[in-house]
């Protein structure tokens, strides 16, 4: 029996997506596709969070870096949310400890090359944090976050500014009892008001920020849906929890997703087919110790269409792209700021079939382990396969001249997800395997 491995320097076939990591340790907290088809990412990067730089990064359509803006402050900073503005530049909201010896909300306006146009700081002596920003129809901005006006008790914070970042009005919402409220996400609504999701509340306001109604849902993100209602992503009893409401905030349905261990969701968006895409992290289905990025696609009723376990790490932000696929930002591969681009079915690299096919003459006997075992039979020309990593790069080839046999693969190969593609001339097929330490 002959068993040959050959390392390839370039990918051997077109990939369905890609994975990129950038610089030192860090995290991409928000990603958005830009008008040129590339991506803008906000987050942090550095040796650790206390000595980090607030980061704004622009990439092309393949995730290659075009420019990086780093903003240094005395005690670090995190770029929580970024949006492209109507003039082609960007608006970035952050929390930083650069001013007054405590936390402040920081709003940065840049041009299309990431150069600062202006910077605004909002806050008091106590801990104030910016979590989300959206441009409004008049060219100004709506922001949400946390304000701590007295040194005890944290309130949900909503700020409205003009196009130059000057304050038009602010509102802070005090919770009942001893609970803290954090503003996590704000979206302009079709009626000219705003919907705000917080750590323990969903709030609808009018155009001046005055509360119209509240619902007791805490969530990381909220979006208005095409029917005028709202969709939220959060976690509940260690499962991903999705809540759909009507325009008045009343529950239409809820769904939970998860396994025996912990799962968390961080972002949700309605997709063009009326369903939803959710990103977060999974521990139940992780490929090793820790967590993996978890991507879930549902129909309009929240019923699962598919789930994908992607790169080790955490997925913090997701957006459907113009080609029907998805872009994800987060912290991957040992804590690096990164991006994952998938196709419309959530695949990266070699495309897998949506369900495992029945293979008549070869199979993976052991798909997870230090090595994997393949078995084949009735192949007069022998068995021939190429092996790709999760980014679509060919890392090895294997073949045997025997008509039937068993092969082992994986010794000396780094742990991770791989795809074995049998090179049949009639109907090539792909199987996913996972190597563990």
* Whole-prediction pTM: 0.77
Phi and psi at 352, nearest 5°, equal -95, 155
At 127 the pLDDT is: 65
CA distance 285 to 261: 8
Predicted local distance difference test score (pLDDT) of residue 412: 83
Strands (E), 165-262: 167-173, 183-188, 194-198, 202-205, 211-215, 221-224, 230-236, 239-245, 251-257
Give the strands of the sheet with 383-389, arranged side by side: 368-369, 429-435, 416-422, 383-389, 394-400
Whether residue 259 has pLDDT greater than 60: yes
Q: Which fold has domain 362-435?
A: Immunoglobulin-like (2.60.40)
Identify which of 127, 83, 88 has the alpha carbon closest to the alpha carbon of residue 108. 83
How would residue 74 be classed by pLDDT, with cut points 50, 70 and 90?
low
Q: What are the domain boundaries of the chain? A: 18-342, 362-435
Look at residue 407 in the predicted model and tell me its pLDDT.
84
Higher pLDDT, 233 or 98: 233
Contact 234, 216 (CB under 8 A): no
Q: Answer whether 76's CB lies under 8 Å from 55's CB.
A: no
Residues in the chain: 437
In the chain, % of residues over pLDDT 90: 49
The number of angstroms, rounded, from the C-alpha of 125 to the middle of its chain's C-alpha atoms is 33
Per-residue pLDDT, 275: 96
Average pLDDT on 377-396 reads 78
- pLDDT surpassing 50 at residue 394: yes
Give the right CATH number for 18-342 from 1.10.10.10, 2.130.10.10, 3.30.499.10, 3.40.109.10. Answer: 2.130.10.10
Closest CA to 67 of 95, 31, 94, 41: 41
pLDDT at 44: 87
DSSP label at residue 3: -
Q: Is 134 left (phi over 0), alpha (psi -120 to 50) or beta?
A: beta
Rounded-to-integer distance, Cα 146 and Cα 129, Å: 5
For residue 178, count CB atoms less than 10 angstroms from its CB and return exposed for 0-12, middle for 13-18, buried for 19 or more.
Answer: exposed
Cβ distance 282 to 294 under 8 Å? yes
Q: Are strands 39-46 and 53-59 parallel, antiparallel or unpaired?
A: antiparallel
Least confident among 46-50, 85-89, 174-178, 371-375: 46-50
Residue 80 in contact with residue 27, Cβ under 8 Å?
no
At 408, list the tokens: 């082992």
CB 340 within 8 A of CB 352: no
CA dihedral 311, 60, 298, 245 (to 10 degrees): 120
pLDDT band for position 235 (50/70/90)? confident
- Intrachain domains 18-342 and 362-435 with the same fold: no
13: which 2 tokens?
Answer: 């076939």
Which pLDDT score is estimated for 355?
39
Quote the DSSP letter at residue 111: -
Per the CB < 8 A criterion, the answer to whether 311 and 296 are in contact is no
The more confident residue out of 175 and 39 is 39
| pLDDT value at 192 more than 50 | yes
């Amino acid at each position: 029996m002959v068993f040959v491995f050959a390392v390839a320097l370039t990918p051997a076939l077109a990939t369905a997506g890609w994975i990129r990591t950038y610089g030192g340790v860090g995290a991409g907290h928000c990603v958005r596709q830009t008008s040129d088809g590339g991506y803008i990412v906000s987050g942090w990067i550095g040796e650790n969070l206390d000595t980090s730089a607030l980061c704004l990064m622009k990439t092309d359509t393949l995730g290659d870096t075009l420019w990086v803006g780093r903003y240094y402050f005395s005690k670090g900073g995190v770029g929580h949310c970024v949006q492209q503005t109507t003039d082609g530049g960007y608006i970035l909201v952050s929390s930083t400890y650069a001013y007054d010896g405590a936390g402040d909300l920081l709003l940065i306006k840049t041009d299309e090359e990431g150069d600062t146009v202006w910077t605004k700081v909002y806050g008091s002596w106590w801990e104030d944090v910016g979590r989300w920003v959206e441009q409004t129809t008049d060219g100004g901005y709506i922001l949400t976050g946390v304000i701590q006006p007295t040194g005890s008790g944290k309130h949900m914070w909503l700020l409205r500014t003009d196009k130059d970042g000057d304050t038009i009005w602010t509102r802070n919402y005090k919770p009942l009892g001893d609970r803290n409220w954090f503003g996590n996400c704000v979206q302009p609504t079709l009626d000219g008001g705003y919907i705000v999701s917080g750590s323990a509340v969903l709030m609808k306001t009018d155009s001046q920020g005055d509360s119209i109604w509240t619902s007791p849902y805490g969530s990381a993100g909220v979006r208005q849906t095409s029917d005028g209602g709202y969709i939220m992503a959060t976690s509940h009893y260690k499962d991903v929890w999705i809540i759909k409401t009507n325009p008045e905030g009343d529950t239409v349905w809820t769904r939970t997703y998860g396994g025996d261990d912990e799962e968390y969701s961080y972002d949700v968006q309605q997709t063009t087919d009326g369903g939803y895409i959710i990103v977060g992290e999974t521990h139940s289905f992780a490929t090793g110790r820790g967590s993996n990025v978890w991507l879930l696609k549902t129909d309009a009723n929240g019923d699962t269409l598919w789930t994908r376990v992607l790169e080790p790490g955490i997925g913090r932000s997701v957006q459907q792209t113009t080609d029907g696929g998805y872009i994800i930002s987060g912290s991957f591969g040992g804590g690096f700021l990164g991006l994952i681009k998938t196709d419309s079915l959530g695949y990266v690299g070699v495309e897998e079939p949506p369900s495992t096919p029945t293979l008549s003459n070869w199979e993976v006997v052991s798909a997870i382990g230090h090595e994997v075992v393949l078995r084949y039979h009735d192949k007069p020309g022998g068995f021939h396969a190429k092996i790709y990593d999760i980014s679509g790069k060919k890392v090895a080839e294997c073949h045997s001249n025997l008509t039937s046999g068993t092969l082992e693969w994986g010794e000396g190969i780094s742990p991770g997800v791989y795809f074995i593609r049998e090179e049949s001339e009639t109907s090539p097929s792909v199987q996913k395997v996972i190597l563990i330490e």
